Each structure stands twice: as C-alpha cells, then as structure tokens.
C-alpha cells in the first residue's frame, strides 16, 4: 500500500493505524485517520494506492458537533440526535455518487470532504464518519481512493461553496465533470428554456383508446356490438387480437347492467393494443407505424360511430383533451413524461400539439434490465424487451461468472455497452414516427454502476458510467432532446437537463408500512393501469421517516446550492408532490424555498380533481421559478430557534431575491403560519403564499 500526501503533510504518516478488522469475519481493512490539525484552509488531497487485499478507509476527524450530508438533497444531523445517528448507521437511500461532498462541523469550523472518484466509495458511520473504498476483484483499482479536504466556516452551505469552487478551479476533478450551467445548456439547446417555471407531470393511461372514448351510457351496448360482430367484420377481427382475459372481460361487460370500471379499463386496453396491429386491415409493410395506427383508428370510428367519441379526442393521459385542458387552465409551461415508453402507441398529433403549446413531452425509457423474450407478460415490461441475443449476451456478468440480476430480480442488468446499438435503434425508430422534445432514461443518473466481467463487453464501474454518460449526451447531440433521468448525480449533471429522485428519493424499502395493506401508509396496488394506486393514492408518511425526509428543521438546500443552477431536479415519481397527504403543505413550501419543481401524476379522470390545488400552487411557484431556475442559491439561514422559519437567497443578474418560509403554526415577525414570502421580485403576481395544511 502506498500513501501519497502533498509534501507539506508527509510528516503526518505517523498517524497510520495499520490493518484492522471492521467486524468479525470482515475482510481486513487498511485505514488512515485524519485529524483536525492536519487539515488546512486550503485544498488538501489525500490519496491512497491500494490493491485488493481489502477495503481502504479514510476515517474523518472525530468529535464533530454535526454533519452536513446530501441525503434527500441536504440535511444537517446533530451528532447528539441518537435517532438520526441510528438512521445513518443503518444506511439510507443516498449514494455518495449523487453529490460526493459532505461536511463535519466543529464549533465555528467545518471540514469539507470531497470524493473525486466516488464509484467504489461509500459513507460509513460508527461513532464517527469514514469513506470506504473497495476494489473490485481482479481489476486492480480503476478509481483512486482519494479524498479532498479543506477547512471552512461552519455555515452548512459552505459545503456547497467549497465543492463549487473546487470543481471550477481544481487542476484535476477526477471523474466529476466541469460545471455546465443551465444558461449554457439553454444556449446550446434553446428548448431547455421551457424548463424554468414548468411543473413535471407523469401522464397515465392508454394513448390510442381509453375508457373515456366511449360515453359511459354506451359502453355495454358497444361491448355487445363487439361481441356479436359478424365473422370477418372489423369488430370480429379486433377481438381476435384480445387475450383470453380480455375476451372474458368483453363478454362480462356485454352482459352487465352497468359498465363497471375494471371491465371498461380491460376492454379499452385491449382495443388500444389492437389498434397498433398492422394485420388488422392488412396494411402494407412499408406503411409507417403512425399511419397504420391512424387508419386503424379511423376504421374503428367509422364502424362503431354510434358508440364512440371522435377519434381526435381518443386517449387518456397522452391525449388532445388533456393538453387542451392544461393549457386552458393557464399552464403555459409543462414537462410531460409518459408513464411508459409507449413504443408502439404513436401519437404524432399529440406531440405536435404539445409543441404548439410550448410544452416538453417525452417517453419514459430504460436500458437498466434485459428480460427473456419468453417471459410471461405479467413478469416483464416493455422497456426490458429486446431480443434473444440481448438477453443471452448483453447481461452484466459477475466475477463468479453468474449474471447480475435485474430490477425486482427479473432478468439481468443490461450492459450499457451491449445496450448501445439497441438504444440507438429504439430511439431512432420512435423519433422517426413522433418528434418528441424530451426523453427520460430510467436509472442512469442515479450513478448505479457495475463491474462487468463479460468477455465480450468487460467494464469497470468507471467505464460503465462513461457508457451511460455517452448515451444521455447522444440524446441531446443527435436528436436535440431535453434529457432527463432518474436521480441527478453530479457524474451526469452536465449531460442531463432534469432529474427525478433527488429531493424525495425512493423510500419504499425503508419502512414496512409502505408494503402492508393493513397500514394507513400502504402505498397501494399497481392497479388500475390508467391510475395505479401506488402513484395516485394519497397516504400519510410513516412516522419513522418524518425525520429527516419531511422535517424542515433538518432539511437544507445543499444540492440546490451545489448543482441547482446546472440541472433541475425534483422528487422520485413514486412520491409525487401529493403522495403524502399529511406533509403536503410542508413539501409545497420546501418546493418554494428551495426552488424545486412540483411533480404530479395525471390522467383525464384525476386532472379535474387535482386541478384547483395544482393551479393554486403553480400560480405562485411558476413565475418565481422562471426567474430563479438559472440563478445560484447563495444563502440559507434559520430565523427561529426551532428552525421552522427559514430564508434562502438567490442571486440573479439584476438583484438578490429572498424567500422566507414559515413552516410553523404561529406567526413569526409578520410571516404567517405555513407561508412563503418573496422580496426583491416586484413582478410577481403576489408576494405571499399560504399553504393549506
């Protein structure tokens, strides 16, 4: 093992502790303990070159009063809070690869720690904090066990300031890309300018035909007409594309007195799929898929005109009626992400309309898992289906030669090298049919990465990340799309424009009540398909997760101060702005204080129910975010002893904008309870917002 320090600090090698075991049975760990005395106010790089004998740990100075960590976009953990320390010791959804910087506060001083190569690193917590690096078997060390430390003032945002300064001025930033501000991204791709002031909506339900496309009172008669269609007629041909389950639903609906939703959803879904079939009207193989769909829709509309609305209005979340309603409600900007790829459900008319309205619209794509082509329909999903060669040869291989299991232990994780030609083919094919303005890639910007021991596509974690960065950058450079991904790791901040999952990360595995149908916090079923309870059903947040995830007293805008003027990030789609009913007001106010876009799930049925609350929030948040999305967050302070009255400062080209939020129950210095007050921006329609608890 070789330890490399800057020359002025070579004398501290006496602090070396040798090899110890972290726990019984654990691999021996090489350790190095840093002390406050050896950390200067300037940037100091500590680098260790170690092999595969075991992990290497940089133990950080002991005795800190509190810790500043980028969990859930930023928290301050009082070292005396036993509950929070236990939470850290158990682990959290936060990966050090998201924002690889943290702070340890000692009275009026603070140690800021940066990890330039976070691929093999993790935060470990005992009675103190450490950064552990683990080398992959047979690979040597692809990323050095390096940390950069500096001593700064105790202000929590000094962690973000120190990181930004280092990123701008360091001769070598390791794997961390240089800053690419939103202003630069807008200059490079002008449609990115539509993101400031845009709420994020996930659109649900079928795109080609939905239960809304038949008047409620005509569904039973329509089902009878389909069931009894003459052999060889369009209706009879449509039903040949139904599954056994879908045919059973059709017959049950035709015999019903009233059209219950679970039957109309099933039959509408069957028709939605059948309308993509080239064989329905024996279309020529050269006919574009979008034109096949259009002609099939026109034929269905003509054959069953007595039962159906006009085909121009068909579809659910991805439909002209929903777009028109959003626009007529006064929503001038919006990012619309489909709930799936919809790789066969082409709606160029809807995409064109979204473009006319100034909205961004794109599919939800993924190259995270690859499934067997023979998988049962209930055990796979559209984005994981490629071909047999991808399944058999594209899987990531572990050191022992086994395949690395995919999401939910289905299929395998898909090598980004092997996936690259499949991604190009998929995106190119869809983009030819529908010119989307945005594209969302699941998982990539979480910075989850793999050691791949495949003989045909071997990769270290560093190389895996590089391949994922390449494909995200390609979406912008080759297709001019606004690019989003799950997460918002700094390793991807320069190649994405928006990220989902930073401010509320995925929490579903952290509390058993989320999965217990008897619990009030049960997230819900993944049904009905056009509005799954797991996404649409409001539930209370589990008490055990209130702190730190929904407690404003410990939340700070660390991520926003470090990266917020480079990439726009918000919540994970599993936990949209309305998911947790008991903390809805707190999350609204955090969205204003930190300038984070709200995220909502919508379809045609839910929009009228959610409309008033969404519009009320957007009327205040939208104009403010238009001004501040590209502005750095330069200050944060707590104005009350309980930390429930907080202030953020943003610096624009013309002035400083100050946002003061009172999360508490009582008025504080003219700031009403549950309110946000803005000063320095006279163009706002209102300067005070009152959240409704």
Q: What is the pLDDT of residues 607-649, one digit of tens each?
A: 999 999 999 999 999 999 999 999 999 999 999 999 999 999 9
Residue 29 pLDDT class (50, 70, 90 cuts): low
Both ends of the chain: CA-CA distance in Å? 57
CA dihedral over 489, 490, 493, 498, signed as positive or negative: positive
Query: Residue 2's pLDDT is what?
Result: 30
Residue 137 pLDDT class (50, 70, 90 cuts): confident
Q: What is the mean pLDDT of the chain?
A: 93
Query: Residue 28's pLDDT is what?
Result: 54
Ramachandran bin of 63, using left for φ above 0, alpha for ψ from -120 to 50, beta for the remaining angles: left
* Average pLDDT of the segment spanning 472-481: 98
Query: Residue 93's pLDDT is what?
Result: 66
Axis crossing angle, helix 244-254 with helix 261-274, rounded to the nearest 10: 130
Task: Please state whether the peptide bond connecting residue 548 to the residue before it is cis, i.e. omega within 30 degrees of 0.
Answer: yes
* Residue % of the chain over a pLDDT of 70: 94
Element (H, E) at 645: strand 645-651
Residue 7 pLDDT class (50, 70, 90 cuts): very low
Does residue 9 have a pLDDT over 70?
Answer: no
Residue 492 corresponds to which tokens in the numbers above?
């991807």
* Average pLDDT of the segment spanning 436-458: 97
Number of Cβ within a 10 Å radius of residue 26: 11
Phi, psi of 549 (to 5 degrees): -70, -30
Query: Residue 37's pLDDT is what?
Result: 85
Q: Which tens digits make up the pLDDT trace of 330-355?
A: 999 999 999 999 999 999 999 999 99
d(CA 102, CA 116): 12
Residue 288 corresponds to which tokens in the numbers above?
């574009």
Range scoring the smallest mean pLDDT among 75-89, 113-127, 139-153, 173-187: 139-153
Range scoring the smallest mean pLDDT among 35-39, 216-220, 311-315, 631-635: 35-39
Does residue 38 have a pLDDT over 90?
Answer: no
CA dihedral over 214, 219, 221, 224, signed as positive or negative: positive
Report the DSSP pairing between strands 364-365 and 438-441: parallel
Axis crossing angle, helix 244-254 with helix 219-227, rounded to the nearest 10: 120
Does residue 11 have a pLDDT over 60?
Answer: no
Query: Residue 50's pLDDT is what?
Result: 61
d(CA 71, CA 87): 11
* Average pLDDT of the segment spanning 308-322: 97
* Average pLDDT of the segment spanning 225-238: 97
d(CA 487, CA 526): 22
* Average pLDDT of the segment spanning 374-403: 95
Does residue 12 have a pLDDT over 50?
Answer: no
Residues β-bridged to residue 499? 485, 569
Query: Residue 23's pLDDT is what?
Result: 32
d(CA 56, CA 479): 43
Residue 49 pLDDT class (50, 70, 90 cuts): low
The reported pTM is 0.94
Q: What is the DSSP letter of 27?
A: P
Range scoring the smallest mean pLDDT among 38-42, 145-149, 464-468, 566-570: 38-42
Beta strands (DSSP E) in 533-629 are 568-570, 599-602
Residue 13 pLDDT class (50, 70, 90 cuts): very low
Secondary structure (3-state) at 498: strand
**Angle (CA) 640 644 647, round 5°:** 75
Residue 102 corresponds to which tokens in the numbers above?
């943290």
Residue where the block lists tokens 């994020």: 200
Upper half-sphere CA count for residue 87 (Cβ side, 13 Å): 23
Q: Which tens digits make up the pLDDT trace of 256-280?
A: 999 999 999 999 999 999 999 999 9
Contacts (Cβ under 8 Å, ≥6 apart) of 217: none
């Amino acid at each position: 093992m070789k330890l490399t320090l800057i020359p002025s600090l070579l004398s501290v090698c006496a602090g070396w502790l040798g090899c110890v075991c972290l726990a019984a049975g654990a691999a021996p760990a090489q350790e190095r303990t840093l002390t406050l005395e050896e950390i200067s106010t300037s940037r100091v790089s500590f680098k260790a070159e170690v092999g595969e004998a075991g992990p290497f740990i940089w133990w950080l100075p002991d005795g800190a009063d509190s810790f500043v960590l980028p969990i859930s976009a930023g928290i301050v953990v009082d070292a005396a809070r036993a509950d929070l320390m236990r939470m850290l010791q158990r682990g959290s959804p936060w990966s050090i690869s998201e924002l690889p910087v943290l702070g340890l506060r000692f009275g009026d001083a603070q140690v800021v720690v940066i990890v330039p190569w976070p691929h093999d690193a993790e935060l470990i917590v005992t009675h103190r904090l450490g950064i552990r690096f683990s080398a992959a078997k047979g690979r040597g060390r692809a990323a050095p066990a390096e940390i950069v430390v500096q001593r700064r003032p105790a202000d929590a945002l000094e962690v973000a300031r120190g990181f930004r300064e280092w990123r701008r001025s360091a001769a070598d930033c390791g794997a961390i890309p240089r800053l690419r501000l939103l202003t630069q991204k807008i200059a490079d791709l002008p449609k990115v300018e539509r993101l400031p002031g845009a709420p994020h909506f996930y659109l649900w339900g079928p795109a080609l035909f939905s239960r809304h496309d038949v008047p409620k009172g005509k569904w039973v008669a329509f089902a009878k007409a389909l069931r009894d269609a003459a052999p060889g007629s369009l209706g009879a041909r449509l039903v040949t594309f139904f599954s056994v389950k879908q045919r059973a639903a059709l017959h049950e609906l035709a015999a019903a007195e009233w059209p219950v939703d679970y039957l109309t959803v099933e039959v509408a879904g069957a028709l939605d799929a059948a309308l993509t079939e080239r064989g329905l009207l024996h279309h020529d193989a050269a006919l574009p898929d979008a034109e096949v769909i259009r002609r099939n829709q026109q034929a269905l509309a003509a054959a069953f005109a007595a039962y159906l609305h006009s085909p121009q209005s068909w579809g659910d979340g991805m439909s002209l009626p929903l777009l028109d309603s959003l626009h007529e409600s006064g929503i001038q900007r919006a990012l619309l992400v489909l709930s799936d790829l919809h790789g066969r459900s082409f709606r160029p008319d809807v995409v064109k309309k979204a473009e006319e309205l100034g909205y961004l619209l794109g599919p939800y794509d993924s190259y995270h898992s690859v499934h067997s082509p023979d998988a049962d329909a209930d055990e796979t999903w559209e984005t994981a289906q490629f071909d047999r060669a991808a399944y058999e040869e594209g899987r990531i291989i572990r050191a022992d030669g086994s395949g690395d299991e995919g999401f939910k232990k289905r299929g395998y994780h898909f090598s980004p090298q092997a996936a690259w030609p499949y991604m190009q083919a998929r995106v190119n094919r869809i983009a030819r049919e529908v010119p989307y303005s945005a594209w969302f890639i699941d998982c990539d910007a979480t910075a989850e990465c793999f050691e791949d021991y495949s003989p045909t596509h071997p990769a270290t974690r560093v190389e895996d990340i590089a391949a994922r960065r390449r494909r995200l950058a390609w979406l912008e450079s080759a297709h001019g799309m606004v690019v989003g991904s799950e997460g918002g790791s700094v390793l991807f901040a320069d190649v994405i424009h928006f990220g989902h999952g930073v401010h509320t990360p995925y929490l579903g595995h952290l509390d058993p009540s989320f999965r217990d149908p008897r619990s009030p916090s049960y997230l819900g079923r993944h049904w009905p398909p056009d509005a799954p309870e797991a996404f649409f059903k409001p539930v209370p947040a589990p008490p055990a997760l209130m702190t730190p995830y929904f407690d404003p007293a410990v939340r700070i805008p660390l991520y926003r101060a470090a990266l917020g003027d480079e990439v726009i990030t918000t919540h994970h789609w599993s936990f949209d702005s309305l998911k947790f009913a008991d903390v809805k007001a707190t999350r609204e106010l955090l969205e204003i204080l930190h300038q984070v876009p709200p995220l909502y799930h919508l379809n045609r049925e839910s929009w009228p129910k959610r409309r008033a609350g969404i519009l009320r929030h957007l009327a205040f948040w939208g104009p403010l975010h238009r001004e501040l999305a590209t502005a750095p967050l330069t200050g944060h302070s707590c104005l009350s002893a309980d930390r429930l009255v907080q202030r953020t400062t943003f610096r624009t080209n013309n002035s400083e904008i100050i946002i003061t939020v009172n999360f508490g129950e009582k008025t504080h210095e003219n700031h009403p309870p549950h309110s946000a007050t803005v000063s320095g921006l006279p163009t706002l329609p209102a300067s005070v917002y009152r959240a409704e608890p």
